[in-house]
Amino acid sequence: MVIEMDSIVKDIAKETSMEISLEQRISEKISSLYGLDPHEANVDQIYKATATVVNEILRDKRKAFNTKVRDQKQRRVYYISMEFLMGKSLKNNVNNLGIVDELTNVLKGLGVTLEDLYEREPDAALGNGGLGRLGACYLDGLASQDYPAMGFSIRYEYGLFKQKIVDGYQTELPDVWLPGGEVWLSKRRDKACNVKFDGYVEEKTIDGKVIYDYKDYNEVEAVPYDMMVSGGNSDAISVLRLWRSRNIRKFDLNSFTQGDYAKATQEYTDADLISKVLYPSDNHYQGKTLRLKQQYFLCSASVQNIINDHIRYYGDIRKLAKYSVIHINDTHPTLSIPEIVRILMDDHRLSFDEAWDITKNMVNYTNHTVLSEALEKWSEELIQRKLPRIYMIIKQIDQRFCDEAKCLGVSNEELNNLRIIHNGEVRMANMCVIASGKVNGVSALHTDIIKNNLFNGFYKIYPDKFVNVTNGIAYRRWLCQSNPALCNYLDSLIGPEYRQDAKNLEKLLAFKDDESVLKKLDEIKYQNKCTFAKYLYKKFGIVVDPTTRFDVQVKRLHEYKRQLLNVLKIIALLTDLEEDPYRQITPQTYIFGAKAASTYYIAKDIILLINSLATEIQNRPEIRNKLNVVFVEDYNVTTAEVLMPASEVSEQISLAGKEASGTGNMKFMINGALTFGTEDGANVEIHQEVGDDNVFIFGMRDYQVSELWQKGYNAQWYYDNNYIIKRVLDRLDRGFNGKSFSNIKHYLLNQYPVADPYMCLADFDDYMRVYYQMDEAYNDRMRWNKMSLVNIAKAGIFSADRSIREYADNIWNLKKVK
Ligand code: 26Q
């Protein structure tokens, strides 16, 4: 049946540009790029030639798809995001084009394997974590279902930093990805445009019309690079358009001739800086000028591009919202809103009212966080200075909203919470809610929280604006490509239809009591654990025993995600063993992976703690054999692809109400790991899908968290009244691998220098209680395997295909291209 899928895709490929054999095309590419005979080429050259050929096939396919979109006069969606965490492209594209077998054969002739080529490709890490990976999964979902879509972001020269652990400490190295990654980028000089900063605006009246004359600005050129994103078994290709900033005048000749060489080249470096590097903070806002410039650079270039293309294809500016819909991924691209108004008013001479009407009909916004430190509030003065015309428009939007809110009966006091500009700050989330047709949260619980808390004032006046779209994952990447052993078995058991529609995974439920199936699932998991163990050894020299339980927490390091709570549990188990070396314990390996933003000090201390604990245990074989801890350096998309299939326990232990959704939880689930987590984000829906018997839930619910916080969280009380907590915290004083962690004990006890706002100790007892339940279930192998089977079977709803259909139907009003 897989072959059947292959042949359909091959037909499409043939219609485009596959008449010449792949072998011939790759040979010719090696010859034209390097002047070599194919057999003289090294792996790197073969990788580049192959990637270039695959990319050309995708470009032809995109061209054919584009023609259809235009002929059918289809509305398009433009997904604007500061982040797309794409990972590698070759494997995904080769699978989606159905050319795995053919390519394998060609490469065999050249003495290399597909795996060799996959290893050559660097990850495109143009994102921090969940939000960026979601954008990447959605481009896949859009292409897979024939929706016309384009993503917009920045072509960061350096993506998310590479993490290196030195003596237990995180250090950061620049992520140099372009040399190997640029084969996937096609420069589009024809689509370049300029973005303006600084200067001032003069208002003039000509023929009774007010004209805004923008003067003395600095201009930066935006040059796009397109990356093709294929989907599974479909005609569509999504395009990710990445903007690079360039100086317009290569040289300030005036300053040069006056002998001011620094000034002559200064502008060059300033302009270049905009697309230099991705900000590495996740769920945390800092009001840096360069970040604001990055955001406006992305918004202005993208909106100009959207409007120019609209005019070219459809002519009539008033029909802009009919053919284009923009999605704003969190508030980072909020400036797209005033930018649309600016272009419609200043370049197309529409009135503010007309421009605002069109804007409101084409913009929607997803909120990804309720953490107050992540909400963007830019200084009014900074925006006025860097973007004077945009500032005027924001003021006008704000004024318009005030008028409307007053008509709707909003009190002056309430209005202060809802206005865009307040107390010298520009609140981006408020601008997004005011301008958007729809605002969505990313899980059922999270959407309730934004309706009832974060955006309650808006919800009261615009109840219909708020909708939920639970996140989803590109499961063809996260299951079909990452876990071939499981998928081959699923094909034979339930047929391959689940590869097209993930809901078909439910067919697996018919086998939930079939012992031979459960045994086979166990064997596959074991094989995947061996594969991961080999990967760890080869890459980092770390030894793990695949016969132990793999208990995994991989995600960005953040206090609210509570890696610390997991560590406290491990220390509790360790102190048990230290007290009684003969104590029975299920052999288990804790696997951590996490990057901390470079200036997030407590997060870095937690990384040091995990590494010190890991090193101490690794030096004590009597402990290591029962209770091992490893920290996987530089956790990224590629590591995740090897780790998910090998995982058995998925730690999702954020403080309830803080994790908007989580998407790692879904990747674990579909690979048969069991969730050990709080009722937070999408865990709530995972729980709902699999039922009480197939998940391990503990801890306070979100409303209990609020109650406790209001009542006052007294960490010391837990220390004084729970001897295990006391023992664990005192063990931190003694420390690990020669380092004391009294600072973390103080943190947990709500003392100087910082406090624990995520109340680890309040959930500790229940976490341990459920740990022992989980442990018991694990030791009943058939029970565990059955739970695992149910999780795989019920994971279909968390497909990005489903999320994208909901966006298309309920938010974008977007139709598939026939
Ligand atoms: C903002 C301003 C300045 C600099 C950086 C930022 C910034 C950057 C990244 C703020 C937030 C982020 C990332 C947020 C994020 O990844 N949120 C996650 O989104 C996922 C997809 O919806 C959810 O599953 C996670 O729960 C949520 O934490």
Any alpha helices (H) in 619-750, and if so which ranges? 621-624, 637-643, 664-670, 683-690, 702-711, 715-721, 723-734, 742-748
pTM for this entry: 0.96
Strands 466-468 and 200-206, bridge-based pairing: unpaired
Q: What pLDDT is stored for residue 650 in this prediction?
A: 99
Q: What pLDDT is stored for residue 254 in this prediction?
A: 77
The 3-state DSSP class for residue 169 equals: strand
Q: Which residues contact 299 (CB under 8 A, 6 or more apart)?
A: 80, 333, 334, 335, 336, 339
Is 658 close to ligand 1, i.e. is its CB under 6 Å away? Answer: no
C-alpha 272 to ligand 1 mean position (Å): 25
Say if residues 26 and 53 touch (Cβ distance below 8 Å): yes
Q: What pLDDT is stored for residue 257 in this prediction?
A: 84
Q: What pLDDT is stored for residue 250 in this prediction?
A: 60
* Tokens describing residue 41: 């080429």
Active site residue 556: yes
Is 130 close to ligand 1, i.e. is its CB under 6 Å away? Answer: yes
Is 648 close to ligand 1, i.e. is its CB under 6 Å away? Answer: no
- C-alpha 67/C-alpha 88 separation (Å) is 28
Of the candidates 529, 568, 557, 559, which has an alpha carbon nearest to the alpha carbon of residue 545?
529
C-alpha 477 to ligand 1 mean position (Å): 22
Is 128 close to ligand 1, i.e. is its CB under 6 Å away? Answer: yes
Active site residue 663: yes
Active site residue 368: yes
What pLDDT digit, counting tens, does each position of 685-741 carry? Answer: 999 999 999 999 999 999 999 999 999 999 999 999 999 999 999 999 999 999 999
**Count of helix runs (H) and strand runs (E) in the chain:** 36, 25
Atom of ligand 1 nearest to the CA of 128: 9
* Tokens describing residue 707: 């109650």
Is 368 close to ligand 1, i.e. is its CB under 6 Å away? Answer: yes
- Nearest-CA residue for atom 24 of ligand 1: 662
Mutate to test the pocket of ligand 1, among 131, 285, 556 (most ligand atoms within 8 A of CB): 131
What's the chain's length in residues? 818
Please list the ranges in the chain whose pLDDT falls under 70.
1-19, 249-252, 265-269, 752-754
Q: What pLDDT is stored for residue 266 in this prediction?
A: 64
Residue 527, class by beta-carbon neighbours within 10 Å (0-12 exposed, 13-18 middle, 19+ buried)?
middle
Q: Which residue has the tokens 């009597």?
A: 622
Atom of ligand 1 nearest to the CA of 446: 26
How many CB atoms neighbour CB 583 within 10 A?
11
- C-alpha 725/C-alpha 728 separation (Å) is 5
Is 665 close to ligand 1, i.e. is its CB under 6 Å away? Answer: no
Q: What pLDDT is stored for residue 3 in this prediction?
A: 44
Chain-centre distance of CA 255, in angstroms? 44
* Tokens describing residue 43: 């792996």
Query: Given 62, 499, 556, 794, which residue is catalytic?
Result: 556
Q: What pLDDT is stored for residue 1 in this prediction?
A: 41
Query: Given 62, 368, 595, 786, which residue is catalytic?
Result: 368
What pLDDT digit, counting tens, does each position of 129-146 carry? Answer: 999 999 999 999 999 999
Detail the DSSP E strand segments found in 447-547: 466-468
Query: Given 29, 120, 476, 555, which residue is catalytic?
Result: 555
Active site residue 446: no
The 3-class secondary structure across 6-43, one letter per residue, is HHHHHHHHHHHCCCCCHHHHHHHHHHHHHCCCHHHCCH
Detail the DSSP E strand segments found in 282-380: 324-329, 363-366, 377-379
